[in-house]
């Protein structure tokens, strides 16, 4: 049995926009325009640390930034100019600087440093476009990992009202402790109650936490914004052997159950599939009749079904028959509402 995201094993994952990494790709291009030397290597780390700080929940004056990063104000102004040149929005209010959370080109710099699988796929292509002779290409990934820190990134990507929840979960994961999710608001069954869990990982931007629930004896996704409070317990993990994230298909559906699906796509459907779900590219091939065919495993029919119904005149379900029955039922239930 599959359940909805937040209290079950089967979930829709948030859509990922390519615009999120536009500013960062431009920053890569800017930094790769010159051959990097050993003396230049710390500069990227300082710049990204500065970006993380400015994209948090508060503003900083030049004096504060100078003390925080041991930089001259002249150097800081040069970095801020670079950020603006590559597409980041840098605001200055009453002498204090910040990078606001906006819809475009990105929500926060934390979105750029905490990659989903799709973002990693797109960013990999951007990195490989850098000239092979540039040392930046070989050093960039290692530098990003050296910058990655759960606590620091959480400050920039989590809403202020959820920071305490996420930090307590991070501590529980690090210390391998059970926690009580107080007043968890479950959309499945419309229930509000406490949930005893063993948290062990997050999804992108800390929107969901993977946790083993002893009561149901399975791993589930819990939405962090639906948690009233995280109460740390002295009890350590007792079920670590069962901590396992479930497979996720290219349509961002998670479940242990997988079914092979074959779709025949028009050129328009093919283009929209790759734009909306970049990871689907590896499962698509061209056919002799100037059409495209998707042949891959899915973790349920919700994701692929939503795609097919949105392009019903551009797609054909070849198999399985169960997917056809699923779509017929959806259409039958929808007709009376028209």
Cα angle vertex 40, ends 39, 41, to 5°?
Answer: 95
* 67, pLDDT greater than 80: yes
Per-residue pLDDT tens digits for 280-334: 999 999 997 789 999 999 999 999 999 999 999 999 999 999 999 999 999 999 8
* 8, pLDDT greater than 60: no
Cα 220 to chain center, whole Å?
18
- Structural domains in the chain, CATH included, are 18-157 (1.10.10.10), 170-242 (2.30.30), 259-337 (no CATH)
Q: In what order do the strands lie in the sheet with 259-265?
A: 284-286, 292-298, 259-265, 315-319
pLDDT band at 50 (very low <50, low <70, confident <90, very high): confident
Cα–Cα distances (Å) from 65 to 51, 230, 271, in that order, read 11, 33, 45
| Strand runs labelled E in 67-165 | 91-93, 96-98
* 211, pLDDT greater than 60: yes
pLDDT at 87: 66
pLDDT at 56: 74
Residue % of the chain over a pLDDT of 90 = 39
Per-residue pLDDT tens digits for 153-162: 455 456 677 8
pLDDT at 160: 72
Partners of 202 in the β-ladder: 209
pLDDT at 267: 93
Per-residue pLDDT tens digits for 134-151: 545 445 544 444 444 455
More confident residue, 186 or 16: 186
* 117, pLDDT greater than 60: no
Q: Which residues of 230-255 are buried (b: 16+ CB within 10 A; e: fewer)?
A: beeeeeebeeeeebeebebbbbbbbb
pLDDT at 2: 43
pLDDT at 186: 86
Instruction: Kindly state the DSSP code that residue 248 receives in the 8-state scheme.
Output: B
What is the Cβ-side half-sphere exposure of residue 248, based on CA atoms within 13 angstroms?
Answer: 18
* 191, pLDDT greater than 50: yes
């Amino acid at each position: 049995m599959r359940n909805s995201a937040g209290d079950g094993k089967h979930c829709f994952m948030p859509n990922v926009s390519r615009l999120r990494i536009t500013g960062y790709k431009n920053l890569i291009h800017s930094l790769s325009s010159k051959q990097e030397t050993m003396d230049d290597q710390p500069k990227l780390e300082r710049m990204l640390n500065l970006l993380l700080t400015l994209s948090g929940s508060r503003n900083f004056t030049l004096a504060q930034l100078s003390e925080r990063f041991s930089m001259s104000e002249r150097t800081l102004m040069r970095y801020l100019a670079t950020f603006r040149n590559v597409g980041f929005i840098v605001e200055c209010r009453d002498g204090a600087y910040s990078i606001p959370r906006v819809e475009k080109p990105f929500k926060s710099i934390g979105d750029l440093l905490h990659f989903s699988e799709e973002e990693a796929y797109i960013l990999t292509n951007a990195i490989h476009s850098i000239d092979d002779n540039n040392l930046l290409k070989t050093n960039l990934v290692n530098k990003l990992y050296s910058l990655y820190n759960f606590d620091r990134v959480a400050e920039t990507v989590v809403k202020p009202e959820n920071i305490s929840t996420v930090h307590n979960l991070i501590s529980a994961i690090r210390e391998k402790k059970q926690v009580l999710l107080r007043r968890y608001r479950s959309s499945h069954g419309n229930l509000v109650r406490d949930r005893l869990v063993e948290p062990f990982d997050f999804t992108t931007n800390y929107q969901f936490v993977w946790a083993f629930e002893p009561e149901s004896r399975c791993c589930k996704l819990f939405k962090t914004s639906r948690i009233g409070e995280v109460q740390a317990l002295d009890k350590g993990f007792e079920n670590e052997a069962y901590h396992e994230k479930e497979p996720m298909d290219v349509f961002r559906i998670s479940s242990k159950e997988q079914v092979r699906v074959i779709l025949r796509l028009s050129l328009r459907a093919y283009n929209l599939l790759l734009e909306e779900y970049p990871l689907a590219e590896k499962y698509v091939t061209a056919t002799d009749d100037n059409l495209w065919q998707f042949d891959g495993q899915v973790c349920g029919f919700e994701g692929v079904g939503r795609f097919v119904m949105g392009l019903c005149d551009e797609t054909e379900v070849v198999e399985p028959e169960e997917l056809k029955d699923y779509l017929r039922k959806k259409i039958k239930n929808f007709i009376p509402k028209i």
